[in-house]
Amino acid sequence: MALPDSFKAFVVSETPNGDFQRSIVDRQLNTLPDHDVLIEVHYSSLNYKDALSGHGNKGVTRHYPHTPGIDAAGVVAESQVAHLKSGDSVLVTGFDLGMNTSGGLGQYIRVPAQWVIPLPPGLSLKESMIYGTAGFTAAMCIHRLINHGVTPDQGEILVTGATGGVGSLAIALLSGLGYKPVAVSGKADAIPFLESLGAVSVLARDEAEAQAEKPILKARWAGVVDTVGGKILSKAIKMTRYGGAVTCCGLVASPNLSLTVFPFILRSVALYGIDSAECGRELRQVLWEKLAGDWRPAGLAGLSREIDLNDVDNYMARLLKGANQGRTVVKMIAG
Ligand SMILES: NC(=O)c1ccc[n+]([C@@H]2O[C@H](COP(=O)([O-])OP(=O)(O)OC[C@H]3O[C@@H](n4cnc5c(N)ncnc54)[C@H](OP(=O)(O)O)[C@@H]3O)[C@@H](O)[C@H]2O)c1
């Protein structure tokens, strides 16, 4: 594959007065880190973590200038390992991509071979980014509920941050698998969207937070996919049925969690932490194959909008305001 000298990338820079500026610049290939596999990125996507990196969150990205993008799908351009060949279609999500390693919002990335997953049969590069880290994380949460023994006949599954990337895909995946997802959303006008994904009902955010301080509440949920933390997660745990399971992956509302031990010692509720970034290769491959096959929700393409690099700044700001709905795929090369 012929390589260009330079490529377009979304770059975040720190100014001397501590502000952060975002622009699209031409970068040289030799500014990418020295790893095994060079990938021409065809699609990336936007996740909450990308918006944090794009706005100078040093918990995500320590050093600037930096190109965010925790997701990338594209074609191998150069490889120093035998099992990945020039021209192979691949995807990378998580690990350090887009955090302190130049990310998928550049037209090229260079990454360690162990981060690279061959694109599973049945999935296009674009579809893999409709899922992206959000869909993969939703799949990890659902895989955890299934392994715990939560079955569709046991009752409703609460999904919080429901219009967001993880939440919307969790609802679509759960519904496709025969579960009854109940959505929590702060967006009153998003009820038709949530119902179209398969939500059996929608709770307003206020309702999902009310009485969160009580030690235990009437049991309702067979399982929970929580993306927001704080009071909503606290209440969800207190409303989980005997032997049920709660998965916790996000903190858009709060990183705090106020609880007593009652849900655990009176109802045998399990709380599972979910981290997609460092998920092992074996489970990664299994879940990507499920997402490409049996788990693929109806109307996957309709769950996303497509933007290009010029729109990224605007969509990052929406993510930070909690105004996001569904998934945002970023087209990285013309044509
Ligand atoms: N652990 C992992 O591996 C992993 C992987 C991916 C994402 N995450 C985390 O999961 C969270 C969601 O990520 P995402 O990409 O889905 O983000 P997103 O697209 O921005 O979705 C977040 C959703 O949360 C809701 N929300 C926003 N502010 C809120 C608030 N103050 N209180 C309650 N709900 C609020 C909104 O939905 P409604 O308006 O519908 O309520 C929003 O659309 C983030 O914290 C992210 O860092 C973790």
For residue 164, report the distance from its CA to the centre of ligand 1, in Å: 6
Task: Please work out whether the CB of residue 60 comes within 6 Å of at least one atom of ligand 1.
Answer: no
- Overall average pLDDT of the 302-317 stretch: 96
181 lines ligand 1 (CB under 6 A): no
Question: Does residue 269 line the site of ligand 1, with CB under 6 A?
Answer: no
In a domain, 278, yes or no: no
Last residue of a domain, one of 273, 290, 323: 273
For ligand 1, atom 36, which residue shows the shortest CA distance? 161
145 and 241 share a domain?
yes
Query: Residue 301 — very low, low, confident or very high, per pLDDT cuts 50/70/90?
Result: confident
Instruction: Give pLDDT, residue 148.
Output: 98
What's the mean pLDDT in 134-161?
98
| H helical segments located in 177-229 | 191-197, 205-209
Q: How does pLDDT run across 162-209, given as a tens digit for each residue?
A: 999 999 999 999 999 999 999 999 999 999 999 999 999 999 999 999
| CATH number of the domain enclosing 215 | 3.40.50.720
- The model's confidence at residue 335, banded by pLDDT at 50, 70 and 90, is low
Substitution candidate for ligand 1 out of 44, 45, 46, 48 with most atoms within 8 A of CB: 48
Contact in structure between 70 and 97 (CB atoms under 8 Å): yes
**Which residue lies with its CA nearest to atom 46 of ligand 1?**
250
Q: Is 279 inside any structural domain?
A: no
The tokens describing 302, both together, are 């309709």
Is 126 within the bounds of a domain? Answer: no
For the CA of 323, the nearest atom of ligand 1: 43
**Rounded to 5 degrees, what are φ and ψ at 194?**
-70, -40
Whole-Å CA distances, 259 to 128, 149, 211, 273: 37, 24, 12, 16
Interval between CA 49 and ligand 1 midpoint (Å)? 10
Burial of 10 (0-12, 13-18, 19+ CB in 10 A): buried
- Do 64 and 166 belong together in one domain? no
Give the C-alpha separation, 117 to 113, whole Å. Answer: 9
- Burial of residue 192 (CB within 10 Å: 0-12, 13-18, 19+) is exposed
- What is the mean predicted confidence (pLDDT) over 37-48? 98
Residue span of the structural domain in which 243 resides: 133-273
Q: What is the pLDDT of residues 262-273, one digit of tens each?
A: 999 999 999 999
Q: Within this chain, do residues 157 and 261 fall inside the same structural domain, yes or no? A: yes
How many domains in the chain?
2
